[in-house]
Structure 1
């Protein structure tokens, strides 16, 4: 386990989520995440229904909704929308669509979608620009880089300050070495299952990510191993997932 974690972290660690509807983001933006945990046998049907929904959204050019989408290796589909405050959660996202296409038709569409999963979650995550490393500015949807690695660093109330200090040391390491592996950090917020920092790394594909990771390992050397282990020794637990951004399941209204 120690060897695996050392390799993971020293070569590439860190960076939906998915996750801004804007290519460039500033400040510590908050995002509302709706997550569907889709049954493996229902993935194809689920995606078909979602794309049908998006088709209706585009046909009627619904102005009061927008999101980007990612799906992870464990069949979670995350729909991510920026919010200004908690009051945004009370807005009826599909009210305008129901008016345009008819409540009965929309209800039937969502009924078809609902049978594809038994578990769904809604929660908030917060972009942390102070911990993120992207020298040219935060870009959460870099062109041609739809592959994602998501690293979940779980903490406790008692060690969150220490973990933050160690994360700053990681950023200093990446910056001082001029690393080409860029990452964005998100803090868990209201409604999440446990307290964590989620780090998202973008790449062209799995091969590109592996090559970037190997180059990063060689760049950091022994210095990287020490800094990463200082961080890992303070975590409650660590989880890693691969995923893909899904522009075909995202929605932005036209002007």
Structure 2
């Protein structure tokens, strides 16, 4: 009887959740004046337009050297933002860790910085920094850097807190200094997971850098925006294909590295 009651209660809760989601969807459609049926009806025309216009042609391939140059610039900017953010994030991660942190106040400060930079989208950071630094590579780099600090700090705090404390306790018993404990026990213990998070952040930043580049006028995002605004859809198609291929290759490479280190 108890199992039947539990199952009946779960089914009731599921029905309530589904009804609430349906209600929210309906209200959102009404408030935004969005017609789902009309949207579905226009899908065939949309796909026909995509396959008719977004096609890589021989003429667009002549622009490949320029596109590759901007793509490499975007990748390098993403890597630079991630690696430099890693240094600050490690420092903040140790500060914010409950297991090896030295001060509760510093821990709160580290977690606040991580929360602030992580919860504001990278695009928003780009717009904020755009007002101060203008449209240039520095603005794009800083936007990716700030976003990376928030995400990596949170990830590093969790990794450090979940790591084994046996090595830390062993070094403490020998009278090792705090720096020695961090460098000889905490970092080596967490290094595989740290590298994994860094690789994931690089992948994410390459995707974000495309959108940030549209706002800051740099990298492959600027090239995409330029072709789009001039109605050069064949160029847009080539840029899109280049970005997709680059992201897939980098993801395959990072997955291979993860298998080796984990």
TM-score, length-normalised on structure 1?
0.21
Q: Which has the higher strand share?
A: 1
Higher RCO, 1 or 2 (CA under 8 Å, sep at least 6)? 1
Structure with the greater alpha carbon radius of gyration: 2
TM-score, length-normalised on structure 2?
0.21
